Structure 1
Amino acid sequence: MKSQEIRSKFLNFFEGKQHLIVPSAPMVLKDDPTLMFVNSGMAPFKEYFLGNAEPKKNRISDSQKCLRVSGKHNDLEEVGYDTYHHTLFEMLGNWSFGDYFKKEAIAWAWELLTEVYGIDKDILYVTVFEGSDDADKLKMDTEAYDIWKQYISEDRILKGNKKDNFWEMGDQGPCGPCSEIHVDIRSKEERAKVDGKTLINMDHPHVVEVWNLVFMEYNRRANGSLEALPNKHIDTGMGFERLCMVLQGVQSNYDTDVFTPIIREIETITDKKYGNNEEVDVAIRVISDHVRAVAFSIADGQLPSNTGAGYVIRRILRRAVRYGFTFLDKKEPLIYRLVDVLSKKMGDAFPELKAQKQLIENVIKEEEASFLRTLDQGLVLLNRIVEETKGDTVSGEKAFELYDTYGFPIDLTALILSEKNLKLDEKGFKEELEKQKKRSRSASETSTEDWTILIEDDVEEFIGYDTLEANVRITRYRKVTSKKDGEMYQLVFNLTPFYAEGGGQIGDKGFLEDISGDVVYILDTKKENNVIIHFTKELPEHINESFKAVVNNEHRALSSSNHTATHLLHQALRTILGEHVEQKGSLVKPKSLRFDFSHFSKVTPEQLQEIEDFVNARIEGKLPLEEERNIPMEKAIEEGAMALFGEKYGDTVRTIRFGNSIELCGGIHVKNTSDIWHFKIVSEGAVAAGIRRIEGITNKAVKDYFSENNAAYLEMKGLLNNAKEPVKALENLQDENNDLKKQIEGLLKDKAKNIIGELKNELTEINGVHFLAKKLDLDASGIKDVCFDLGSQFDNLVLLFGAENDGKAILSCYISKELVASKGLNAGAIVRELGKHIQGGGGGQPFFATAGGKNPAGIEAALEAAKGYL
């Protein structure tokens, strides 16, 4: 059974059980601070379990893209070494929100596995929660046990502990006992020798969990206690890749048709055969897994970067690159070439792969090339460390610096050192790594208390499109303490005029005023799992009273100007650069806007001017806002509204139209484009391969920009004696400056020639080598000319010259090439060592190298120490 059929059978089965089939949500989460990525099938439905939103239907089924590479659920380092862990995987799931419970979930799971998929009942085992003796004092799940007895013999129902059979989404939130279904795909002979039940949850590659049925009935509070949920829910997750392994009769997920096309392509590109060598096999498994994770992340809008979720994606990709570099001998980009076969394999189920294929390839290729350059640089640095190492062990601190500063993988460091008969101080490295982790944990440490409920109110209405003020009641609040922000309070209202951060636009600020006139300032507004949260530094005194909530009008108006300008900018880019342009991210603040878009070449100055003129023409055209708030998604798309990859949309959406610009958007906009006043592009550049960024300003920021530039112009004009043609006067100054520079260069060359005559007489002979160490009054370029001039006149020459320029020290070392070959002298190694005297360092080639430092007083000591090399 092919993988596409396996996926379809699952979804069709649950559609037949009155489930709504929904597409996979984007993997990158926008409004859940507890998660970077969707790491389980239930994550996109968290707001329903928390009671913050109503689902479209009480029964839902899907195949969800998941990523497990950070936080509590982190499988990254296991990927490649076993045959069933992955970074990205599909989670087939069915969900009940207060509808059916254990009886139906168990019955349907058994029916699907044994009757629809035809899995032999004799190779299946199930586990149920055995209860716990800890503070929770939970009883055994006898209900699930009794239901399972109807389908499977009791000797195949195993009791599992809290670690394996009690599922929690995190430290807080909905949770409950679970029942896992395991399958034993070993041969009959192996099963006869060792009972499968002894291998359950023992990390056996062929006795694996295939489906987890979670019975969500509790809520974990901040203090660790459990309370019963008002409604009981079902949350199931079945690993698609593992299911394919079982149904296709193979012993590894990588032997299924989910991965074999990618593996065959890797074999073709690298001339390496899968199945002959364990190191090669691990590398191929790593690459075939990781290309999926990176490709889907880019398709969902998350580019590799140095922070947050982008850093995680970069780390996955670099792990794949270094396995190819080390074990497949690939010193040029490889992984981007696998995107084509991936999109052909999975593009029908996940159309974003096909739509974004070119962008994915470009981004991966550039990232690969960049990291391969880093590896080359790291090899040079590692060789330097090896040269400086005394003894047979490289310090963990040095290895960590290479890892932390330059991104050089520690396992590659260890491998290269072993080839040079050197050891790595692994303990020292781990200590440095742990110090860094502690610093990182300490900086991001946050303590969140439970919500204190003041008013039972399930609906929090946003009214900020129409008003900036409202009388509100606080329905709940909680305290959050972090190292970064100290103590903060999060407030939820029954209704709110405050816009929560979203769609690239930052959240509103403002204040709450009570009946006595006391004010508490709202410092930010964000959305978390569909709840609008207002951040304050203090808790209002009369918390149970009514408040007047007031949004900061200037903050809102300026943000609105910039947000509308991004829509007009998007239209301009598609009109002028082409329909291939798509938004890839934005940031809208009161003072500025930032817009990322797909485009594969630099935007020319002429195009930038055309784009700016296009936007300003729409501003001058005084286009009114045309808004539709609850339009069906399908109708909005038919009318030409643009939907963005990586965004999660509901059945009904809001459209924003200004003239011919129409987009799906939940943000705040001006009532008329004339409110923007003017748009100005301040920068344009590359963010990643195929991704460009424009930064711009509008409204008050443009007025300030023109005012500051005018002041700078008048100041410059004053410096030019109020010349009538200041540009021409500046050009004349530049010409004069260039002429003077040429005269100075000529004088310095003459000075160097004169010095050479004097230096010849100062050369001494040490052990058959002509040697001179001296401080000169020349710049670095002049010293280099002197070295090579003397080198053309004398054999067996070693020179070390020092100089002081602008308060900095310079050392230059020249060694005749015959001495480099015969005596093993190395100018680079010498200046690195002597550079310590001037509190600096440097390097270069074996015959010529320079060092710079901040201590000119150390030059004489360095010159004296140079004699020691001869």
Structure 2
Amino acid sequence: MPSALTAAQIREAFLQFFEERSHRRVASSSLVPVGDQTLLFTNAGMVQFKDVFTGREQRDYRRATSSQKCVRAGGKHNDLDNVGYTARHHTFFEMLGNFSFGDYFKSDAIAFAWEFVTKRLGLDVDRLAVTVFNGESGVPWDEEAFALWEQQGVARERILKLGYKDNFWAMGDTGPCGPCSEIHYHQGNDIPCVEEAAGRPCQGVACDCDRWLEIWNLVFMQFERKEKDAPLIPLPKPSIDTGAGLERIAAVVQGKRSNYDTDLFQGILSTVSALCGKPYSQETGASQRVVADHARATAFLVADGVQPSNVERGYVLRRIMRRAIRHGATQLGLKDLFFYKVVDRVIELMGDAFPELRESRTFLLEVAKHEEEGFRRTLDRGLKLMDDELAKLQASGQKVLPGDVVYLLHGTYGFPWDLTQIIARERGFDVDLEGFQKLQEDEASRQKFDTKSKSVGDIFQDVVGRTGPTTFLGYEGEGHEGEGSVLALVQDGVEVPQVSQGATVDIVLDRTPFYGESGGQLGDSGRIVAHGGKTVLQVKDAQRPVQGLIVHTAEVTEGTLKVGDMVQTSVDVERRKSIRANHSATHLLHKALKLVLGEHVKQAGSVVAPDFLRFDFSHFSPATQDQLEQVEDLVNTWVRDNAGAQTRIMTLDDAKKSGAVAMFGEKYGDTVRVVTVHPESTELCGGTHVKRSGDIGLFKVTSESGVASGVRRIVAVTGVGALQFVREQEHELKKVAALLRTSPKEVALRVEATQKRVKELERKVEEVAVKAQTASNKDLLGQARDVNGMKVLATRVDPADDKVFRGMADQLRDRIGSGVIAIGGEKDGRAIILVALTKDMVAKGMSAGNLVREMAKEVGGKGGGKADMAQAGGPDAANLPAALEKLYELVKGASPA
């Protein structure tokens, strides 16, 4: 078995195998199914081909192969609870697939699968078994598949018949369906079996234990069900849908019992282990696996346009992220932000295969940081509340956590209900989900009539009900400073009368210039001072946990603060200016995109930070360089106009009639703020903005990329940030120009000329080297040894060069007539070895690939190739003489009789 194969090599081998058999290599589709309202996420390889299978969509190919990104973490297909606690459950995974749309059917599909598994992967046939549909509910058993497996050489006792649960596939209650046939791999009888533990015999392939592992599923799509429970109708063009989980296959090929022990996870797990300072062990393994798995899911979901939220896909993503953060913070003891670092490791390891990860890296890390920051603010308080409630239940002999507590944790502390359920179960309690769901339904009903009512258990809702909404001063004058009264102090989820130095506290003021995060604009930071400067607090963030209330999260660095104290507030001015400029630029960017790309452009998300702005928009193809320059020109023209910004308070209906555009993520009441940054741009927005468009300064796009099908993303900088970006580019250009001894304007021409010159010199050097070696080939042949009647030559040539080696080998083979040749050399500290055989040696059963692989071990490397010529390399060039000398003993041992 080729245990050295990495998961990336397996993926490529699979795709190449089917490409060689006339399949079109099709890129993975987005994790967000396009135009499919029946699925939360793409959960199988065939999802992007659903309409092709049913005939509603026509493509210019009838065979396809792909490695599809999949997520199963919500709805019907939900593996979340098992992730981390089993060897092979994941939220994110890759599904290798080959598909036939009315082209080949069972015979070829079975032959392809068996050839790849046994020949390309080299799995032990004695460890394999297959299953076929046994026939149920009027559908005959799959006798054809049984016979086809026999034709592949599978023993009859290794072909098992299973029923609907295991061997019949359907897209849903209606649609295409058909029998399945699976390939299973035997991992070993030493794996514990639940049946044997109960005194019953193991059921083999049909057993729930892990002794037999399904690695390949062939769906023979030959029927269609028009209505639920209706009879099956044969499809006019039967098709093939194959799924083979990359994680499982990698585990088998690499000889691992758990998917988490493969190279797909080990790099990520090593990062988690390093962060928490704990080795990967049985004690910490489950939590480390949760973090590693969920980091993969987070990276890919966010890259495909999903953002954490409280609805639909965003809610599932938030559940995944917060489950990982909880395990890291409470189980692994990670006190500082860590999750973004694990996500970054995922990007590093998987960015080659999935470039969208690298393209979205900055945003991915920002999302991970922001979500963890938000959840950590309430995690400890929520866990303390849960501890108290569970202790009360324990004391009274009860074992069910009430629905109102689940509701409080959900609304106030951001605990998804299933996270609460998991924590409760870990401590031996059940959860009253029906009570929780009833409270949710009641709240939804109340909100239809009273939008100000929120969770009655939310402490901040109690505060706002008692104190009234916060007056925001950021729209007035400069909006950087103000004076207010402390209305409430909340520490560890409890209102307190005062806090002292060293405490982290949430502060509610009656008036504040601090902007609470909303609509993509990040919250402000700054200072709160009281008692004539004797009390100082550093404000790290400002949020809006409930409508109308701005809550400041701050650390008391000096003195004591009490409820009722008067305070002076000051926002970090430079940070606010940068955020304000980026926010106004976002509005102008939106308008420019509509003018350049078309009115179909709509905002699909945004982040307004002090150092960049990110704008997601609907568009179905990458913007060209010319289009991006047009966008930049428009925005910078409007900036130079230095138009005065205007803000009007209007009714929502009047604002819509005026043509104002609603910005993504905002919630609007009966009256709204309508912001006109420039006459070209009028938006509904509650954020802070520049006074004049000229305050934005220079606007510069730094990247444009795709985040999902039909959604593009622009990242840009303004003002000082834009100037810094341009200067960095200019400095790099000047460095290159200096190296080329030309002016920056002439760099491209000089590089082109240099490239041509280098290629010409390389060609001449190669010609000279080949001629020189040709002249010495006669001398080299005199060094050949006789090994059991065969001529064998192993020689060293420095510096090593692939093309020169091949030319030499061809010439030496022609001259030697019959024999084996090896040429080795050193290049950039690495050893390179090439082995060539004459045709008669190949005919006698010798292989250059086998020889070079063994020689490569001497230099710490690997290699391979064809039977007549193969190449290897390794880092230990000092052992090159030993590697070349080894050829003689290898040939002696492999000499044909």
Which residue number corresponds to residue 84 of structure 1? 88
Does 2:435 correspond to 1:432?
Answer: yes
Distance in 1 (alpha carbons) for counterparts of 2:626 and 2:340: 37
State the shift of 1:189 in Å.
11
Counterpart of 2:368, as a letter, is I
Distance in 1 (alpha carbons) for counterparts of 2:20 and 2:114: 15
* Maintained 8 Å contact 2:268/2:292: yes
Counterpart of 1:307, as a letter, is V
Does 2:146 correspond to 1:145?
Answer: yes
State the shift of 1:273 in Å.
1.4
State the shift of 1:702 in Å.
8.9
Q: Kindly tell me: are residues 49 and 684 of structure 1, through their superposed partners in 2, closer, same or farther at Cα, counting changes over 3 Å?
A: closer
Counterpart of 1:272, as a letter, is K
Does 2:222 correspond to 1:217?
Answer: yes
State the shift of 1:353 in Å.
1.0
Counterpart of 1:69, as a letter, is A
Distance in 2 (alpha carbons) for counterparts of 1:12 and 1:90: 16
**Superimposed CA distance per residue, residues 787-813 of structure 1 (whole angstroms, 9 cap, x where no aligned partner):** xxxxxxxxxxxxxxxxxxxxxxxxxxx
State the shift of 1:319 in Å.
1.2
Q: Kindly tell me: are residues 363 and 98 of structure 1, through their superposed partners in 2, closer, same or farther at Cα, counting changes over 3 Å?
A: same
**Superimposed CA distance per residue, residues 237-289 of structure 1 (whole angstroms, 9 cap, x where no aligned partner):** 000000000000111111100000011111111011112x34x1111111111
Counterpart of 1:299, as a letter, is A
Does 2:360 correspond to 1:356?
Answer: yes
What SS is found at the alignment partner of 1:233?
strand
Which residue number corresponds to residue 735 of structure 1? none
Q: How does 1:98-177 map to 2 (within 5 A)?
A: 98-133=102-137, 137-151=138-152, 152-177=154-179
**Superimposed CA distance per residue, residues 3-45 of structure 1 (whole angstroms, 9 cap, x where no aligned partner):** 1111111011000000010111111113101001100000011
Which residue number corresponds to residue 769 of structure 1? none
Distance in 2 (alpha carbons) for counterparts of 1:625 and 1:646: 11
Distance in 1 (alpha carbons) for counterparts of 2:21 and 2:48: 21
What SS is found at the alignment partner of 1:25?
coil
What SS is found at the alignment partner of 2:118?
helix
Q: For the aligned residues, what is the CA RMSD?
A: 4.7
* Maintained 8 Å contact 1:296/1:353: yes
Which residue number corresponds to residue 279 of structure 2? 273
State the number of aligned residues.
504
Distance in 2 (alpha carbons) for counterparts of 1:677 and 1:409: 39
Distance in 2 (alpha carbons) for counterparts of 1:649 and 1:612: 21
Q: Kindly tell me: are residues 661 and 98 of structure 1, through their superposed partners in 2, closer, same or farther at Cα, counting changes over 3 Å?
A: farther
Of 47, 54, 79, which residue of structure 2 is paired with 1:50? 54
Say which is worse superposed, 321-330 or 117-126, in terms of deviation.
Answer: 321-330
Does 2:185 correspond to 1:183?
Answer: yes
State the shift of 1:290 in Å.
0.8
What SS is found at the alignment partner of 1:344?
helix
Which residue number corresponds to residue 317 of structure 2? 313
Counterpart of 1:231, as a letter, is K
Q: Kindly tell me: are residues 271 and 103 of structure 1, through their superposed partners in 2, closer, same or farther at Cα, counting changes over 3 Å?
A: same
Distance in 2 (alpha carbons) for counterparts of 1:369 and 1:220: 49
Of 616, 622, 630, which residue of structure 2 is paired with 1:660? 630
What SS is found at the alignment partner of 1:91?
strand
Which residue number corresponds to residue 798 of structure 1? none
Relative contact order: is structure 1 or structure 2 higher (C-alpha 8 Å, sep ≥ 6)?
A: 1
State the shift of 1:407 in Å.
3.7
Q: Kindly tell me: are residues 705 and 601 of structure 1, through their superposed partners in 2, closer, same or farther at Cα, counting changes over 3 Å?
A: closer
Counterpart of 2:432, as a letter, is F
Distance in 2 (alpha carbons) for counterparts of 1:358 and 1:659: 22
Distance in 2 (alpha carbons) for counterparts of 1:695 and 1:258: 50
Counterpart of 1:184, as a letter, is H
Which residue number corresponds to residue 40 of structure 2? 36
Counterpart of 2:146, as a letter, is Y
State the shift of 1:180 in Å.
0.8
Q: Give percent identity, aligned residues only.
A: 40
Does 2:372 correspond to 1:371?
Answer: no
State the shift of 1:343 in Å.
1.7
State the shift of 1:230 in Å.
2.3
Gaps of 5+ in 2: 446-574, 601-614, 633-655, 668-672, 686-897
State the shift of 1:168 in Å.
1.0
Does 2:290 correspond to 1:296?
Answer: no
**Superimposed CA distance per residue, residues 448-473 of structure 1 (whole angstroms, 9 cap, x where no aligned partner):** xxxxxxxxxxxxxxxxxxxxxxxxxx
**Superimposed CA distance per residue, residues 510-535 of structure 1 (whole angstroms, 9 cap, x where no aligned partner):** xxxxxxxxxxxxxxxxxxxxxxxxxx
Which residue number corresponds to residue 245 of structure 1? 251
Query: Normalising to structure 1: TM-score of the pair?
Result: 0.51
* Maintained 8 Å contact 1:684/1:695: no
Q: Kindly tell me: are residues 160 and 657 of structure 1, through their superposed partners in 2, closer, same or farther at Cα, counting changes over 3 Å?
A: same
Does 2:25 correspond to 1:21?
Answer: yes
Which residue number corresponds to residue 754 of structure 1? none
What SS is found at the alignment partner of 1:126?
strand
What SS is found at the alignment partner of 1:258?
helix
Distance in 2 (alpha carbons) for counterparts of 1:41 and 1:313: 21
* Maintained 8 Å contact 2:27/2:67: yes
Distance in 1 (alpha carbons) for counterparts of 2:342 and 2:384: 30
Say which is worse superposed, 697-706 or 2-11, in terms of deviation.
Answer: 697-706
Distance in 2 (alpha carbons) for counterparts of 1:705 and 1:328: 44
What SS is found at the alignment partner of 2:227?
coil
State the shift of 1:219 in Å.
1.4
What SS is found at the alignment partner of 2:432?
helix
Does 2:73 correspond to 1:72?
Answer: no
* Maintained 8 Å contact 1:206/1:251: no
Distance in 2 (alpha carbons) for counterparts of 1:653 and 1:424: 55
State the shift of 1:334 in Å.
1.7
Q: Kindly tell me: are residues 330 and 18 of structure 1, through their superposed partners in 2, closer, same or farther at Cα, counting changes over 3 Å?
A: same
Distance in 1 (alpha carbons) for counterparts of 2:25 and 2:239: 17
Distance in 2 (alpha carbons) for counterparts of 1:5 and 1:72: 32
Which residue number corresponds to residue 329 of structure 2? 325
What SS is found at the alignment partner of 1:200?
helix
What SS is found at the alignment partner of 1:215?
strand
* Maintained 8 Å contact 1:64/1:91: yes
Q: Kindly tell me: are residues 368 and 157 of structure 1, through their superposed partners in 2, closer, same or farther at Cα, counting changes over 3 Å?
A: same
Gaps of 5+ in 1: 443-599, 629-643, 663-675, 688-693, 707-870
Say which is worse superposed, 26-35 or 182-191, in terms of deviation.
Answer: 182-191
Q: Kindly tell me: are residues 79 and 615 of structure 1, through their superposed partners in 2, closer, same or farther at Cα, counting changes over 3 Å?
A: closer
Distance in 1 (alpha carbons) for counterparts of 2:365 and 2:243: 31
State the shift of 1:700 in Å.
14
**Superimposed CA distance per residue, residues 81-135 of structure 1 (whole angstroms, 9 cap, x where no aligned partner):** 11111111000000000100000000010000001110000101111001113xx
Distance in 2 (alpha carbons) for counterparts of 1:296 and 1:607: 27
**Superimposed CA distance per residue, residues 204-240 of structure 1 (whole angstroms, 9 cap, x where no aligned partner):** 2342110100001111223321222221110000000
Distance in 2 (alpha carbons) for counterparts of 1:647 and 1:240: 32
* Maintained 8 Å contact 1:677/1:698: no
Which residue number corresponds to residue 833 of structure 2? none
Q: How does 1:223-622 map to 2 (within 5 A)?
A: 223-225=228-230, 226-275=232-281, 277-278=282-283, 280-382=284-386, 385=389, 391-393=396-398, 396-397=401-402, 398-405=404-411, 406-408=413-415, 426=430, 429-432=432-435, 604-606=579-581
**Superimposed CA distance per residue, residues 479-531 of structure 1 (whole angstroms, 9 cap, x where no aligned partner):** xxxxxxxxxxxxxxxxxxxxxxxxxxxxxxxxxxxxxxxxxxxxxxxxxxxxx
* Maintained 8 Å contact 1:106/1:147: yes
Counterpart of 1:660, as a letter, is Q
Distance in 2 (alpha carbons) for counterparts of 1:38 and 1:116: 28
* Maintained 8 Å contact 1:6/1:244: yes
State the shift of 1:624 in Å.
9.3
Distance in 1 (alpha carbons) for counterparts of 2:73 and 2:598: 43
What SS is found at the alignment partner of 1:259?
helix
Distance in 2 (alpha carbons) for counterparts of 1:613 and 1:41: 40
* Maintained 8 Å contact 1:682/1:696: no
Q: Kindly tell me: are residues 696 and 223 of structure 1, through their superposed partners in 2, closer, same or farther at Cα, counting changes over 3 Å?
A: farther
Distance in 1 (alpha carbons) for counterparts of 2:628 and 2:397: 70
State the shift of 1:653 in Å.
12
Q: Kindly tell me: are residues 392 and 260 of structure 1, through their superposed partners in 2, closer, same or farther at Cα, counting changes over 3 Å?
A: same
Distance in 2 (alpha carbons) for counterparts of 1:703 and 1:19: 50
Counterpart of 2:280, as a letter, is Y
